[in-house]
Amino acid sequence: MCGLLGFLASDVATPATSDYETVVTQVYDALHCARHRGPDERGTWHDDHLVFGFNRLSIIDIEHSHQPLRWGPAENRERYALAFNGEIYNYLELRADLAETHAAEFPEGEMFATEGDGEAIVAAYHYWGPDAVRRLRGMFAFAIWDTETNELFLARDPFGIKPLFLATGPHGTAFGSEKKSLLELLPTLGLDDDLDPRAVEHYTVLQYVPEPETLHKNIQRLESGSFATVQPGSTPRIKRYFTPGFAVRPFAEGTEDARYREIAEALEDSVAKHMRADVTVGSFLSGGIDSTAIAALAMRHNPNLITFTSCFEREGYSEADVAAETAKAIGARHIIKTVSPTEFAEALPEIVWYLDDPVADPALVPLYFVAKEARKHVKVVLSGEGADELFGGYTIYREPLSLAPFERLPRGLRKLAGALSNRIPEGTRGKSLLHRGSLSLEERYYGNARSFNDAQLRAVLREFRPEWTHQDVTAPIYAQSRDLDPVARMQHLDLFTWLRGDILVKADKMTMANSLELRVPFLDSEVMRVAGGIPLEQKITKDTTKYALRQALEGIVPGHVLHRAKLGFPVPLRHWLRGTELYDWAQQQVAESQTDHLLDKAAISDMLVAHRTGTSDHSRRLWTVLVFMIWHGIFVEDRIKPQIQEPTYPVSL
């Protein structure tokens, strides 16, 4: 787990790149923005075309596997240079396969000079080409430079666990793990740092910026499950290599137990591989089934496992008691971090700085604090992200069951139901059901985040463009899933939107802010293969979600958790924004923000007052704009200046 940065110069001779040593220095300086991602080592390498920079968090083969890493075949042992962020969990199997298959090509010595996973990536690329990425089980964002062909190969893992930002201008292409680093290199590329108004609107609707966008129009993200090739003077050529599949694999009658065994075995194998490390591995633990399953399976490989959870003091907003009971049941040592409203507010500027782009998910704040606590004890943690998307865990996935009668109505009658819902007063029971039943799945569902409707957007945004709303993002994704059942289509959509835009961004950014590596065993290609074959009735029933997964985890997850309803990670925003905890703070943020050209601050102030008086619950909408205002104050206004501490962690943890 590390932070990479690179600059591939254009062949065009310009004043901005004529002094190449200056570019090397600029890349080295810009690495400082990503120092938290790898405090153990910093390294650079360059030739006449490309500069690599790297901050390393040493996890595997600590004493060796330094980066940027050089590898090549017997005839040119330094043909390739690699900068790699992430972990390849099947690297031992890949190394053994490659060494056995090509041993005759290395009569004078070994194929590999280290014990790490980096050389496995480069060797796989040399022998298998771009198709090598399909064989990697892990989380990764990496860059390989071929010094013979002068071609750069960039790739990102199937689910988007690890980030990779791109910017291409007249003077070259820059790429890196942190957008902050690329912002520093934009002038060298010949680019400006203007905001993208479309991305601003998308963020306001979705609570995150959807891939491949960022809030800066000249910086994009390489999408999950994609790779790109770039040569000097060219723009990146991007190709998708992975699309998550939901294709039901029928089992013979009476053999559902075999399906459950297959799920349990795939997950156990994934956890076993995710435990590979030369440092201590811990686990996050909430009161839910997902993190409990991971922790329980991890205990089989590390009986001294430490688990971590965070909570709030307010009643109804803590799973600490359940998590502590779970830790006791599985035999883990358990540590709890309680987050106060004061800590919550004071940490926000620093947290938003780490995020790069705003994410209006309040759960990322307690995640930041529990990661900070965990880093005092371990260097790697496991977590349960991805289970809901793969196995059907969100309560909203049960909506197609309740709306099934509407699906059988003629389109005209469904429109009539929608018109009727518009006449029913807000808060009346049944209004929402009628409204949502009148819409198609593509119209009504755009993921778990639903902050602003169009009328609210018009009131808040200075420039509202209806063509930039959620269907602008979701329509191409829905087009890929026309043959699937409604729940599978929702899962497919969430894998491309909510998971990689919110869940994985906050997981990566909040743990890396504390130089902590987070691993997610549910997001594994083999687990995806098994989960993708589960039929609808084995995911969602009238009584529960994730039915097949719950059955598979009998005997692994303690009974008090196994059939417990999903809670998520509730944050008492609604109460805090009405009370003394955050109301005055929120007023101050609105008053001081210099976003008048983008947002109607008077309308936002009115929302805040309405929320305080209890006439409306605007907590999530307010949080969305407040986080944006903080982001704007840091990255645009330069008004808010977070105090980012230098990471000082021992390598040995």
In which region does residue 521 sit, left (phi positive, over 0), alpha (psi from -120 to 50) or beta (all else)?
A: alpha
- Note the pLDDT of residue 650: 53
Report the DSSP pairing between strands 306-311 and 281-284. Answer: parallel
Reported as a pLDDT band with limits 50, 70 and 90, residue 564 is confident
Instruction: Render pLDDT for 154-179 as a digit per residue (tens, 0 to 9).
Output: 999 999 999 999 999 999 999 999 99
Clarify whether 33 is annotated catalytic. no
- Note the pLDDT of residue 14: 47
Report the DSSP pairing between strands 80-88 and 69-71. Answer: antiparallel
Q: Which carries the bigger pLDDT value, residue 90 or residue 41?
A: 90
Six token digits for residue 365: 């704040």
Helix (H, G, I), strand (E, B) or coil at 437: helix
Q: Measured between alpha carbons, how far is residue 406 from residues 149, 422, 432, 439, 537 in Å? A: 58, 17, 13, 9, 20
From 1, 2, 504, 523, the catalytic residue: 2
Closest by CA position to 598, among listed 194, 186, 184: 194
Amino acid (1-letter code) at residue 569: F
- Note the pLDDT of residue 17: 52
| Whole-angstrom distance, CA of residue 450 vs CA of residue 372 | 29
The mean of the pLDDT values for the chain is 92
Average pLDDT (297-307) is: 96
Instruction: Render pLDDT for 451-496 as a digit per residue (tens, 0 to 9).
Output: 788 888 999 999 898 888 888 899 999 999 999 999 999 999 999 9
- DSSP-derived letter for residue 480 is G
- Note the pLDDT of residue 217: 97
Average pLDDT (66-85) is: 95
Six token digits for residue 478: 């829905």
pLDDT at 517 over 70: yes
pLDDT at 20 over 80: no
Cβ neighbors of 40 (< 8 A, separation 6 or more) are: 56, 57, 58, 649, 651
Helix (H, G, I), strand (E, B) or coil at 574: helix
pLDDT at 343 over 60: yes
**Percentage above 90 pLDDT, the chain:** 76
Q: Tell me what percent of the chain is helix, strand and coil, each rounded to the nearest 5.
A: 45, 15, 40
Instruction: Render pLDDT for 400-459 as a digit per residue (tens, 0 to 9).
Output: 988 988 888 888 888 888 888 888 887 788 888 888 989 999 989 998 777 788 888 999
Instruction: Give buried/exposed letters for 425-443 (b at 16+ CB in 10 A, else e).
Output: eeeeeebeebbbbbbebbe
Whether the CB-CB separation of 220 and 173 falls below 8 Å is answered with: no
Closest by CA position to 494, among listed 535, 539, 448: 448
Cα 265 from chain centre: 25
| Strand ranges (E), 76-223 | 80-88, 138-146, 151-156, 165-169, 172-176, 220-221
- DSSP-derived letter for residue 501 is I
- Note the pLDDT of residue 651: 44
Helix (H) or strand (E) holding 321: helix 320-330
- DSSP-derived letter for residue 37 is G
Whether the CB-CB separation of 356 and 499 falls below 8 Å is answered with: no
pLDDT at 579 over 80: yes
pLDDT at 236 over 70: yes
pLDDT at 18 over 60: no
Instruction: Render pLDDT for 128-142 as a digit per residue (tens, 0 to 9).
Output: 999 999 999 999 999
Six token digits for residue 40: 């153990």
Instruction: Render pLDDT for 248-286 as a digit per residue (tens, 0 to 9).
Output: 776 655 578 899 999 999 999 999 999 999 899 999 999
Residue 216 bridge partners (DSSP) = 195
Helix (H) or strand (E) holding 443: helix 441-444
Reported as a pLDDT band with limits 50, 70 and 90, residue 647 is confident
Whether the CB-CB separation of 395 and 402 falls below 8 Å is answered with: no
pLDDT at 15 over 90: no
CB-facing half-sphere around the CA of 645: CA atoms within 13 A: 9
Reported as a pLDDT band with limits 50, 70 and 90, residue 1 is low
Helices (H), 102-235: 118-128, 179-189, 197-206
Average pLDDT (54-64) is: 85
Q: Residue 103: is it exposed, middle or buried by C-beta count within 10 angstroms (0-12/13-18/19+)? A: exposed
**Percentage above 70 pLDDT, the chain:** 96
**Which domains, ranges and CATH numbers included, belong to the chain?**
2-240 (3.60.20.10), 256-352+360-393+495-562 (3.40.50.620), 397-492 (no CATH)
| Whole-angstrom distance, CA of residue 178 vs CA of residue 413 | 50
Sign of CA dihedral 496, 499, 504, 505: positive
Amino acid (1-letter code) at residue 203: Y
Q: Which carries the bigger pLDDT value, residue 432 or residue 327?
A: 327
| Whole-angstrom distance, CA of residue 272 vs CA of residue 89 | 9
pLDDT at 639 over 60: yes
- Note the pLDDT of residue 254: 59
pLDDT at 377 over 50: yes
